[in-house]
A and B are shown apart, each in its own frame.
Chain A
Amino acid sequence: MARFFGLVKNEYIKILKKLSTKILLGLIVISAFGLSLIALVAEKTSQAEMEYFSDDYSAVDEYEEQISWLEQTKPEGYEIQIKAYQALIDCDAGYEDWRCAAAEEISELDAAQASELLIYIKTNDWRGYCSLKIRTASSESEKWGYQYRLDHGIDMSEKFDKQNALIDKIDEAKMGLEYAGSEESAEKSAYEDTVTLGMYQLENEIYENTADMTNIMNMDLRNGVRFFNVFMQTPMLVTVISMIMIIIAGGSVASEFHQGTIKFLLINPVKRWKILMSKYFTVITMGYILTVLLFVLCIPAVGIIHGFAGINDPYLYVADGEVQSMNSFLYAVRAFAIASVETVVMATFAFAISSLIRSSALAVGAGVFMMFAGNTIVMVLSQLGVDWARYFLFANTDLLAISQGNSMFPQHTVGFAVAVLIAHMAVFILTAWDGFTKKSV
């Protein structure tokens, strides 16, 4: 066993002393900071867009335009609408103000309710508005949000922005539930979970859930970028590790042949399969070490550029009707671990080709091609309705999507995916084994 670790140490030295490896490791640093910088550019661009809207085309302009349009067309009840807009102009209410939304609704109300609402707008009386909404609501779900605001004294002003956003979200889900009817469905349970989670957040005053931050497109820029808005994107960088490991695995056996050092390697009193396994062990462990390094590196890379605000935000999710709270870093670790499955599979593939064909260029080329084209091929096949494409390697590498039920194939389970992956890996390893131990040098 000590001898085996000697072999592994040899492999590590050979890989790490190469100049190309050092460059590849530099790539990891660049990618970690690169992602963080790209997020910064995205943030600045959308902030600039928002400023453009508010500067050049203010809410007041919009209200004046509405008034002049109403004066020209004179629809039914236009006088009170004009008064409502005038009130908005007087108090300089922005788009985000509840009074702006309320003024839009005034045309839907009868005359008495409309004048009541106008008073609430003029006096900035959100409680009055809420009670009016409860009276005019057409469904239970619509009433709930306003009742909740009244009960808990949640002002509709910007001060309670986060609470209001949550209430709106729950409202929407409750409405969805009402329409969904009594039959059980995936959609319905998703709505139920949204309500459960939203209520939990309101009651526990947890307004930031990193589960909402996994998609960078959902970033709420008004509140500024939080740490996990960016950090939750970092698992995608594992692809960089996959590339690096394809290059290292592809050269692992082939470069020995290329350099002619294979003869020196094999005239030692070590059986060939042990040498091969030490190389494979090195490739896989190095893949994981680099993944851990990437993870650790991403923390300062994101923090330095975006700050550490919200680093303690939890990852909340609902399981069996109960809200579970998880450390967001733990969730990120899990995401990295799932993403690393692809690294292992691709590195094994490149390793097998390298051992069989003894050409680094071909092994690396085939590995990279598989990584980028494989998913596309499977996607095209799945859209053409070719169901047996589910047995392809690439239909099964994205365990995260499969576990969330987002697979391209129906009834695709994680167990099935893991079985397919293991079968492929076994074929790859046996190929490498055969290629390395049987052939003459």
Chain B
Amino acid sequence: MDKEAVLSIKGLNKTLGKKHILHDIDMQCLGGEVFGFLGPNGAGKTTTIKIVVGLLSLDSGEISVCGHDIIKEFEPAMANVGGIVENPEMYKYLTGRENLMQYARMRGITDEKRIAEVVGMVRLSNRINEKVSKYSLGMRQRLGVAQALIHRPRLLILDEPTNGLDPQGIKELRDVLKHIAHEEGVCVVVSSHLMSEMELMCDRVGIISGGKMIGTYSMEQLINQNIGGMAEYVIETDNAEKAVSLIDLPDTTVKQEDGNLIVRVPADAEREIIAAVNAKLVRGGASLYTVHRKDNKKLEDVFITLTENGEGDGQIG
């Protein structure tokens, strides 16, 4: 699978009125990945997305989609973009199919088969000839995805797609998005303020707070990146009290909890250190039953810590 950058944002700035909404945003999203665009409410996610899809103008910076600058080469750039911004608003008095036909015509697609294909992909085949006014929010969301996919875009941008969906709907959407990213090589960018959703869906996340990019991380990096770069292990032994006294390594803290040992070690050398800890316990005569790595920090906490540390002013407009 090719992993070239489909969406590239460099030095993006945007001022709305007197508010400086976006400060030097840099972001690269690759083909074949689900990229989570994460930030608290008002961090500038929707503004960034609106600029990328051409709904808002930018003050400075460069954005290109598949190598086409979105300002100088608007039409070729947008030909590679599909998306839903904010809510999936459709013409409610038209049927699902009529709505799709609207977008198909705008993009010069006349192939009925392609329409049937995207409808099948979002599992709307049995309801597609009903008026959109009869659809649930989840169905509208899926119709929105179908609309965004109809022209086989290389970049699919969805703004808060799980808003208002029930758990089943979220799972279905997740499966669809993963499928088109991993199987069809599309770059899927999903914005959200809920880390828990991103965790299951995304390959990488970019975190924005207060209009500034805090960083781009792979899921693994994010999981490992707990506070102070520490990893936590739970060790079950026959005698916890004795075991505590056995461990006296630098940068490592030990405490007792429910008869188990909780050991915190620096994340950058966790394997080596935990091996040393185990060795010390065994050598000291403690019976070692199990050692397992605790998913010590919920990603949600990581996210909150990151965005709080970021600027401390995550509240913009």
Q: Count A-B pairs with CB separation below 8 Å.
A: 79
- Given A440-B55, A440-B56, A441-B50, answer yes or no on A268-B103 (Cβ-Cβ < 8 Å): yes
Query: Which of A3-11, A336-344, A345-353, A399-407 is near enough to bind chain B?
Result: A3-11
- Given A260-B87, A260-B89, answer yes or no on A266-B55 (Cβ-Cβ < 8 Å): yes
In the assembled complex, which residues on chain A have CB atoms less than 8 Å from the CB atom of B57? Answer: 440
Asked whether any CB of chain B lies closer than 8 Å to the CB of A384, the reply is no
Chain A, residues 1-37, CB within 8 Å of chain B (1/0): the string is 0110011011001100111000000000000000000
Say how far B109's CB is from chain A's closest CB, in angstroms: 10
Say how far A427's CB is from chain B's closest CB, in angstroms: 25
In the assembled complex, which residues on chain A have CB atoms less than 8 Å from the CB atom of B91? Answer: 14, 17, 259, 261
Do B93 and A9 touch (CB < 8 A)? no
Say how far B139's CB is from chain A's closest CB, in angstroms: 16
Question: Does more than half of chain A's interface fall in helix, strand or loop, or is it mixed?
Answer: helix
Do A259 and B85 touch (CB < 8 A)? no
- Given A17-B98, A267-B83, answer yes or no on A259-B75 (Cβ-Cβ < 8 Å): no
Do A17 and B105 touch (CB < 8 A)? no
Do B87 and A269 touch (CB < 8 A)? no
Do B98 and A269 touch (CB < 8 A)? no
CB within 8 Å of A: which of B30-87? 50, 53-57, 74-79, 81-83, 85-87
Asked whether any CB of chain B lies closer than 8 Å to the CB of A222, the reply is no
A6 CA / B102 CA spacing, docked (Å): 9
Say how far A25's CB is from chain B's closest CB, in angstroms: 15
In the assembled complex, which residues on chain B have CB atoms less than 8 Å from the CB atom of A268? Answer: 78, 103, 106-107
In the assembled complex, which residues on chain A have CB atoms less than 8 Å from the CB atom of B108? Answer: 2-3, 6
Do A269 and B79 touch (CB < 8 A)? yes
Asked whether any CB of chain A lies closer than 8 Å to the CB of B94, the reply is yes
Asked whether any CB of chain B lies closer than 8 Å to the CB of A264, the reply is yes
Out of B82, B89, B102, B105, name the residue touching A263 (CB < 8 Å): B89
Do A267 and B55 touch (CB < 8 A)? yes
Say how far A21's CB is from chain B's closest CB, in angstroms: 10
Chain A, residues 239-274, CB within 8 Å of chain B (1/0): the string is 000000000000000000001110111111111000
Do A269 and B74 touch (CB < 8 A)? yes
Do A267 and B81 touch (CB < 8 A)? yes
Say how far A148's CB is from chain B's closest CB, in angstroms: 68
Do A13 and B107 touch (CB < 8 A)? no
- Given A6-B105, A14-B91, A17-B94, answer yes or no on A263-B85 (Cβ-Cβ < 8 Å): yes
Which residues of B approach A to under 8 Å, CB–CB?
50, 53-57, 74-79, 81-83, 85-87, 89-94, 98, 101-103, 105-108, 147
Mind listing 25 A-B residue pairs with CB under 8 Å?
A3-B106, A7-B106, A10-B105, A10-B106, A13-B102, A14-B91, A14-B94, A14-B102, A17-B91, A259-B89, A260-B86, A263-B55, A263-B86, A267-B53, A267-B55, A267-B83, A267-B85, A268-B103, A268-B107, A269-B75, A269-B79, A269-B106, A271-B75, A440-B57, A441-B56
